[in-house]
Amino acid sequence: MHRNTLLWSDLKRVPPSFPRLLRALAGLMALGALTAGPASAAQPTQADKQAEQLAATVCASCHGTDGRSSVASFPDLAAQRPDYLEAQIKAFRDQSRADPDAQAYMWGMAAQVNDAVAHALAEHYAAQHAAAGVRGDPRLLAQGRQIYQRGVPALGVPPCSACHGDQAQGMGAMPRLAGQHAPYIVKQILVIQRVLREAPVMHGVIRDLTRPQIEAVATYLQSIGPGA
Ligand code: HEC
Ligand code: HEC
pLDDT digits (tens, 9 = 90+) for 75-109: 999 999 999 999 999 999 999 999 999 999 999 99
> Rounded distance, CA 97 to CA 191, Å?
10
- Nearest bound ligand to the CA of residue 125: 1
Instruction: Supply the residue whose CA is at minimum distance from atom 10 of ligand 2.
Output: 202
What mean pLDDT do residues 161-171 have? 95
Mutation to probe ligand 2, out of 166, 202, 215 (largest number of atoms < 8 A from CB): 202
What mean pLDDT do residues 215-225 have? 97
Higher pLDDT, 4 or 223: 223
Q: Would the pLDDT of 161 be above 60?
A: yes
> Rounded distance, CA 130 to CA 144, Å?
21
Higher pLDDT, 18 or 187: 187
> Rounded distance, CA 181 to CA 214, Å?
13
- Nearest bound ligand to the CA of residue 150: 2
Instruction: Supply the residue whose CA is at minimum distance from atom 40 of ligand 1.
Output: 59
Cα angle 65, 71, 72; round to 5: 130
The pLDDT confidence band at residue 43, using thresholds 50, 70 and 90, is confident
- Nearest bound ligand to the CA of residue 99: 1
What mean pLDDT do residues 127-142 have? 96
> Rounded distance, CA 55 to CA 78, Å?
12
The pLDDT confidence band at residue 152, using thresholds 50, 70 and 90, is very high
Higher pLDDT, 99 or 20: 99
Instruction: Supply the residue whose CA is at minimum distance from atom 41 of ligand 2.
Output: 160
Q: CB of 107 closer than 6 A to ligand 1? A: no
Mutation to probe ligand 2, out of 86, 160, 161, 208 (largest number of atoms < 8 A from CB): 160
Instruction: Supply the residue whose CA is at minimum distance from atom 32 of ligand 2.
Output: 189
> Comparing C-alpha atoms, which of 40, 30, 37 is closest to residue 3?
37
> Rounded distance, CA 113 to CA 42, Å?
22
Instruction: Supply the residue whose CA is at minimum distance from atom 5 of ligand 2.
Output: 160
